[in-house]
């Protein structure tokens, strides 16, 4: 793009295309970040800097998963029971052919043993064990059956969660290499906000999203709608932070200076996506500052939606949107084909009520979804999730709802 681009609508791109560009930007950016080691209790939300392969077999040796008797399942009954039982802390001697040993749950199997007969199914008379025939591996947690040494388990760029500490700990890994958190500077634009006549609703919400995605967010105040002031402030923050997120000033009005500023400072990858609400987002690279910029529209509900759908992959590496099934409570028509619509809904007993419909607690539209008014209606933030659709939705139609917690983690 150039500073003379008129943004007449031909530059709108589909949401999926925007997400692909943001993911590519993330792939390009991750190797630039410094790395650090974090312990397992601090890895949640962090991004792996290097792939991780299993250094050892897990388990390192086969274990009994039941109290009973361990033996070689290819031997025939009766089996002579050896005197010394095996407990989890033991290092048992090898079993001789034709013998069995009492064993406790979690105990290592003696060499040559490959099955465990549950105590309730065992019969011992005069030191001789009999019972049902078993296959090798019966009630045995076999060496390497969980993880084999050398197996690649985590990819570079993967974002870790609390559950990942379980497997890493089992592999005897104490710390992992992660990319340092992105530093993010938040800047609100708009004379009405800068002069205190309107409250900045977006910046606290955006800071929360950035932090929930595992990075550091700092609010850097506001700037009035003055061309050189907007450009100057973005440039200053780009020199200080990895990422600059602006709010407001992303449309095509006379005082919407953000896009022009980004054009002057770097390369605008795209401006405006086919999403309602939230259409006028822009993403730019600022190579002179080695920074990235996300320009977010000012209307709060649209700002949350487009940031969660389009910017989230850069910060969290996540594009999957798990859904829950529901039945739409009301007809919802759309006004313009060719767009993805994010319809906020509340969920109750498997029914999705469009929050904003005149029959809901927030009355914005009757039949045709109104993204413009809804985008400013902060009560819509009380929805449980969103229905993403490119077509009208009929009452009683089965829909897929993306719960808001999916977008905010």
Q: Determine which helix (DSSP H) or strand (DSSP E) holds 237, and give its type and residue range.
A: helix 227-240
Residue 9 maps to a domain: no
Q: What's the CA gap between 21 and 44, in Å, rounded?
A: 26
Q: What is the pLDDT of residue 208?
A: 97
How does pLDDT run across 145-191, given as a tens digit for each residue? 999 999 999 999 999 999 999 999 999 999 999 999 999 999 999 88
Residue 169 maps to a domain: yes
Residue 6 maps to a domain: no
Task: Assess whether 310 and 255 both reside in one domain.
Answer: yes
Residue bearing the bigger pLDDT, 227 or 59: 59
Task: Assess whether 184 and 308 both reside in one domain.
Answer: yes
**Structural domain harbouring 87:** 63-141
Task: Assess whether 189 and 307 both reside in one domain.
Answer: yes
Task: Assess whether 134 and 221 both reside in one domain.
Answer: no
Residue 1 maps to a domain: no
Q: What is the pLDDT of residue 10?
A: 56
pLDDT over 70 at 397, yes or no: yes
Task: Assess whether 226 and 284 both reside in one domain.
Answer: yes
CATH code: domain of residue 391:
2.40.340.10
CATH code: domain of residue 188:
3.40.980.10
Task: Assess whether 307 and 344 both reside in one domain.
Answer: no
How does pLDDT run across 203-255, given as a tens digit for each residue? 999 999 999 999 999 999 999 988 789 999 999 999 999 999 999 988 766 66
pLDDT over 50 at 321, yes or no: yes
What confidence tier does 276 reach under pLDDT thresholds 50, 70, 90?
very high
Q: What is the pLDDT of residue 3?
A: 37
Q: What's the CA gap between 296 and 203, in Å, rounded?
A: 10
Residue 38 φ then ψ, to 5°:
-125, 145
Task: Assess whether 204 and 312 both reside in one domain.
Answer: yes
Share of the chain above pLDDT 70, in %: 97
How does pLDDT run across 345-358, given as a tens digit for each residue? 999 999 999 999 99
Task: Assess whether 284 and 213 both reside in one domain.
Answer: yes
Among the three residues 287, 316, 345, which one is the final residue of a domain in this structure?
316
Task: Assess whether 211 and 303 both reside in one domain.
Answer: yes
Task: Assess whether 306 and 336 both reside in one domain.
Answer: no
Residue 111 maps to a domain: yes
Q: What is the pLDDT of residue 6?
A: 39
Q: Are 212 and 316 in contact (CB under 8 A)?
A: no
Q: What's the CA gap between 262 and 294, in Å, rounded?
A: 10
Number of domains observed in the structure of the chain: 4
What average pLDDT does the chain have?
Answer: 94
Task: Assess whether 21 and 45 both reside in one domain.
Answer: no
Q: What is the pLDDT of residue 241?
A: 98
Task: Assess whether 211 and 222 both reside in one domain.
Answer: yes
Among the three residues 316, 349, 368, which one is the final residue of a domain in this structure?
316
Mean pLDDT of 303-308: 97
């Amino acid at each position: 793009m150039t500073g003379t681009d008129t943004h007449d609508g031909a530059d709108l791109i589909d949401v999926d295309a925007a997400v692909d560009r943001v993911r590519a930007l993330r792939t390009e950016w991750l190797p630039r970040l410094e790395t650090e080691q974090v312990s397992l209790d601090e890895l949640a939300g962090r991004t792996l800097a290097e792939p991780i392969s299993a250094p050892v077999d897990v388990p390192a040796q086969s274990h009994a998963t039941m109290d009973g008797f361990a033996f070689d399942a290819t031997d025939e009954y009766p089996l002579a029971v050896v005197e010394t039982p095996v407990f989890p802390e033991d290092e048992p001697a090898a079993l001789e052919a034709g013998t069995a040993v009492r064993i406790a749950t979690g105990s290592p199997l003696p060499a040559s043993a490959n099955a465990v007969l549950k105590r309730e199914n065992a019969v011992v008379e005069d030191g001789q064990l009999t019972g049902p025939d078993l296959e090798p591996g019966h009630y045995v947690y076999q060496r390497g059956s969980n993880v084999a040494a050398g197996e690649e388990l985590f990819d570079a760029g993967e974002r870790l969660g609390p559950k990942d500490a379980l497997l890493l700990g089992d592999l005897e890994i104490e710390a992992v290499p992660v990319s340092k958190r992105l530093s993010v500077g938040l800047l609100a634009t708009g004379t009405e906000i800068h002069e205190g006549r309107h409250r900045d609703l977006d910046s606290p919400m955006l800071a929360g999203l950035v932090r929930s995605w595992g990075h550091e967010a700092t609010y850097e105040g506001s700037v009035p709608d003055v061309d050189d002031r907007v450009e100057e402030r973005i440039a200053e923050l780009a020199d200080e932070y990895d990422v600059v997120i602006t709010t407001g000033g992303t449309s095509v009005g006379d005082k919407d200076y953000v896009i022009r500023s980004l054009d002057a400072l770097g390369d605008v990858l795209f401006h405006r996506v086919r999403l309602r609400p939230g259409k006028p987002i822009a993403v730019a690279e600022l190579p002179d500052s080695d920074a990235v910029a996300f320009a977010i529209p000012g209307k709060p509900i649209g700002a949350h939606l487009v940031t969660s759908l389009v910017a989230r992959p850069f910060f969290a590496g996540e594009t999957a949107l798990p859904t829950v099934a529901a039945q739409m409570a009301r007809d919802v028509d759309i006004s313009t084909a060719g767009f993805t619509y994010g319809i906020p809904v509340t969920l109750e007993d498997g029914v999705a009520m469009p929050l904003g419909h005149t029959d809901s607690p927030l009355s914005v539209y009757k039949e045709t979804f109104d993204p413009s008014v809804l985008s400013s209606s902060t009560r819509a933030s009380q929805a449980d999730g969103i229905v993403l659709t490119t077509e009208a939705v009929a009452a009683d139609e089965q829909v897929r709802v993306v719960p808001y917690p999916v977008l905010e983690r």
